[in-house]
């Protein structure tokens, strides 16, 4: 069975809604939170109810919506227990200039503001407002005050605004809000590490139209980059051509096309890293001579011959210069999985190799799931059963964390 790794599963989440036009987008957030297994309690201000109705949120969350200061929670499972006591995290979406100002100045004149005064768990504000309001000194002063007091913020994005203007003030996409909430729940246990990850296929041109590539989707590498960043690492992602959305915030992203471009980018950046994970399926061969014009099909039965030459083996090159860095490779095999992977680990001087059997349809290329075996230098293996690529990424990074600890102990031996 697939096990998705979400820190939101089983959590009690309070969603505060205030009176902005983006309030309708909060419905999608509540739906996604419940889909991820969170228990959602919605609190609305009076102004919010001018834009959206409590019934929508009661239906989506499965819990009564609180909007009155002195409600008795009739019919609610939590009875009289204060919501703020059971919450694991609170998120205010959208957060208006008004709510930001009120909370920053200690005003508690309705249920939502009163609850925020009493809450001890993380509170995330997701503001959305007109650009001029967002840029106003007063709003920014209030935001800084709340940040200083330990509140989290996810800034609005630029774009078309409901008031007919264009600028900063739009609510970020729901997936960004969810990512920030996951991030708040995640231990920053990889802080201080810089992890360089390569992902996707590379592409070698035969002529301006045709190319040699492979079926790698890049999903495993992108999942590793996302989870490593969530766990506090600095991340550099060097990616061949994929159909995936480039990572958004806080990841250094370098796009390349050919194996030689990937090699150059890796060689330029690897010295900044402490850990290198090479998930990329680098094309082993390229055309010996690149045709500047499209190769023409002849009117007879003849077919062109394409002469190939070897591409640089990036990971083998890294194996020679890596120093104290941890070097982790992937071995996509269709037969003799573990033997071939273990041989590669030795030959390329890796610290760990992730072996996956790409002959299985339900895992590997293009799939959202994977099943792999980790092998370290001592020959120790760890099987990671079928699960989401994000889940696999977590477990690979757990193993990397153990190797980092071992490396630190070794370094201490020198003193
Ligand atoms: O030998 P093989 O290509 O199967 O090894 C796979 C590992 O080597 C992967 O980690 C892949 O990213 C890396 N590799 C590389 N440069 C190549 C071929 C593979 O870095 N030219």
**Average pLDDT rounded to a whole number, residues 211-229:** 95
What CA–CA distance (Å, rounded) separates 65 from 44? 7
* Protein residue with least CA distance to atom 5, ligand 1: 331
User: Which of the two residues, 79 and 348, has the higher pLDDT score?
Assistant: 348
Residue 2 lies in a domain: no
Do 92 and 201 share a domain, yes or no?
A: no
Residue where one domain finishes, among candidates 150, 185, 220? 185
- Determine if ligand 1 sits within 6 Å of the CB of residue 270: no
Q: What is the CATH number of the domain that holds 232?
A: 3.40.50.10300
- Determine if ligand 1 sits within 6 Å of the CB of residue 284: yes
Residue 262 lies in a domain: yes
117-169 residue pLDDT tens: 989 999 999 999 999 999 999 999 999 999 999 999 999 999 888 878 888 99
**Average pLDDT rounded to a whole number, residues 15-23:** 96
264-316 residue pLDDT tens: 999 999 999 999 999 999 999 999 987 888 988 888 888 989 999 999 999 99
Of 191, 278, 207, 284, give the one whose Cα is nearest residue 238. 278
Share the mean pLDDT of the chain: 92
Indicate whether 72 pLDDT > 80.
no
What CA–CA distance (Å, rounded) separates 371 from 356? 7
233-252 residue pLDDT tens: 999 999 999 999 998 778 99
pLDDT at 1: 45
Residue 296 lies in a domain: no
- Determine if ligand 1 sits within 6 Å of the CB of residue 329: yes
Percent of the chain scoring above 90 in pLDDT: 80
- Determine if ligand 1 sits within 6 Å of the CB of residue 229: no
Do 177 and 207 share a domain, yes or no?
A: no
Range of the domain at 209: 194-287+306-414
* Protein residue with least CA distance to atom 4, ligand 1: 331
- Determine if ligand 1 sits within 6 Å of the CB of residue 389: no
Given pLDDT bands bounded at 50, 70 and 90, which one contains residue 68? confident
Could you tell me the distance, in angstroms and rounded to a whole number, from the CA of residue 411 to the centre of ligand 1? 28
Indicate whether 3 pLDDT > 80.
no
Do 150 and 267 share a domain, yes or no?
A: no
User: Which of the two residues, 333 and 191, has the higher pLDDT score?
Assistant: 191
Cis amide linkage into residue 268, ω under 30° from 0? no
Asked if 319 and 348 touch (Cβ cutoff 8 Å), the reply is yes
Given pLDDT bands bounded at 50, 70 and 90, which one contains residue 366? confident
**Residue 316 Cα: closest atom of ligand 1:** 20
Looking at the structure of the chain, the number of domains it has is: 2
Residue 168 lies in a domain: yes
pLDDT at 70: 65
Tally the residues of the chain: 415
User: Which of the two residues, 77 and 325, has the higher pLDDT score?
Assistant: 325
Do 181 and 213 share a domain, yes or no?
A: no
pLDDT at 409: 82
Active site residue 292: no
Do 75 and 99 share a domain, yes or no?
A: yes
197-219 residue pLDDT tens: 999 999 999 999 999 999 999 99
Helix (H, G, I), strand (E, B) or coil at 247: coil
What CA–CA distance (Å, rounded) separates 105 from 196? 43
Do 172 and 141 share a domain, yes or no?
A: yes
pLDDT at 412: 67
């Amino acid at each position: 069975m697939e096990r998705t790794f979400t820190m939101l599963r089983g959590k009690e989440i309070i969603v505060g809604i205030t009176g902005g036009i983006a309030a309708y987008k909060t419905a999608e957030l509540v739906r996604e939170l419940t889909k991820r297994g969170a228990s959602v309690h919605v609190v609305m201000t009076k102004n919010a109810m001018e834009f959206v109705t409590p019934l929508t949120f009661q239906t989506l969350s499965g819990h009564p919506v609180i909007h009155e200061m002195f409600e008795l929670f009739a019919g609610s499972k939590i009875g009289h227990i204060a919501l703020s006591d059971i919450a694991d995290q609170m998120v205010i979406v959208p957060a208006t200039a008004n709510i930001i100002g009120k909370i920053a100045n200690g005003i508690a004149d309705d249920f939502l503001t009163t609850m925020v005064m009493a809450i001890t768990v993380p509170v995330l504000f997701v503001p959305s407002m007109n650009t001029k309001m967002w840029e106003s000194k007063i709003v920014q002063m209030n935001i800084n005050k709340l940040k200083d007091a330990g509140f989290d913020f996810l800034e609005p994005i630029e774009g078309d605004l409901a008031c007919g203007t264009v600028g900063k003030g739009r609510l970020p996409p729901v997936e960004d809000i969810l990512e920030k909430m996951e991030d708040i729940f995640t231990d920053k246990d990889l802080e201080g590490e810089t992890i360089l990850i390569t992902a996707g296929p590379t592409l070698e041109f035969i002529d301006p139209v045709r190319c040699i590539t492979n079926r790698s989707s890049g999903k495993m590498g992108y999942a590793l980059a996302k989870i490593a960043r969530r766990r506090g690492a600095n991340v550099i992602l060097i990616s061949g051509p994929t159909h995936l959305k480039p990572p958004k915030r806080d990841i250094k992203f370098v796009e390349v096309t050919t194996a030689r471009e990937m090699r150059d980018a890796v060689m330029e950046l690897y010295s900044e890293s402490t850990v290198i994970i090479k998930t990329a399926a680098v094309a082993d061969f390229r055309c010996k001579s690149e045709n500047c014009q499209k190769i023409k099909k002849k009117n007879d039965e003849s077919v062109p011959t394409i002469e190939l030459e070897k591409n640089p083996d990036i990971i083998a090159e890294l194996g020679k210069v890596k120093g104290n860095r941890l070097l982790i490779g992937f071995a996509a095999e269709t037969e003799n999985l573990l033997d071939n992977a273990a041989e590669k680990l030795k030959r390329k001087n890796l610290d760990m190799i992730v072996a996956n059997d790409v002959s299985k349809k339900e895992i590997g290329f293009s799939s959202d799931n994977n099943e792999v075996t980790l092998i370290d230098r001592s020959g120790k293996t760890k099987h990671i059963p079928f699960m989401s690529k994000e889940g696999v990424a977590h477990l690979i990074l757990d193993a990397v964390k153990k190797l980092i600890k071992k490396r630190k102990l070794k370094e201490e031996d020198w003193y």
